[in-house]
Amino acid sequence: MGLDALDEAVAEAYGDMNDEVDVELDRETKNELALLVAAFGGDRDELFRRGIHQLFRSTVDTGDLDFHLREAFDVTYDEYLAGMTYDEMTGADQYPQRSDERRYQQ
């Protein structure tokens, strides 16, 4: 996995979405949504958008997004935004790994 795989997954997920996304809501979610609609006004679409933005921001701020990206694609959100891995940024991937086995031989 890597940045290319993540780019493909994001593009595929984006392409699969229409302007409208149908979501089944359980009873608890319906109750919470009804309370939010009553409190903030009747625009459910805006509440869904705000909820997604809040979840995204929260996962970025807590490092949860990086954890899941590292686990699934072996990259972080910063690497995704930069379009290159930290090793590519620092040049660490340009040099072959040194074999330390010879260093300890007599």
Least confident of 7-11, 68-72, 74-78, 99-103: 99-103
pTM: 0.73
Please name the residue ranges forming H helices in 17-76: 27-40, 44-62, 64-73
| Amino acid residing at 15 | G
Which two three-digit tokens encode residue 20? 């409208």
List, for residues 36-92, the tens digit of each pLDDT value. 999 988 788 899 999 999 999 999 999 999 999 999 999 999 999 999 887 777 777
> Is there a contact between 1 and 73 (Cβ–Cβ < 8 Å)?
yes
What's the angle, vertex CA 99, arms to CA 96 and CA 103, rounded to 5? 140
Element (H, E) at 93: none
Residue range 22-44, pLDDT digits in tens: 889 999 999 999 999 999 887 88
> What's residue 25's pLDDT?
93
Cα dist. 86→1, 5, 66, 77, 97 in Å?
15, 17, 13, 11, 16
Domain boundaries, the chain: 1-7+43-93
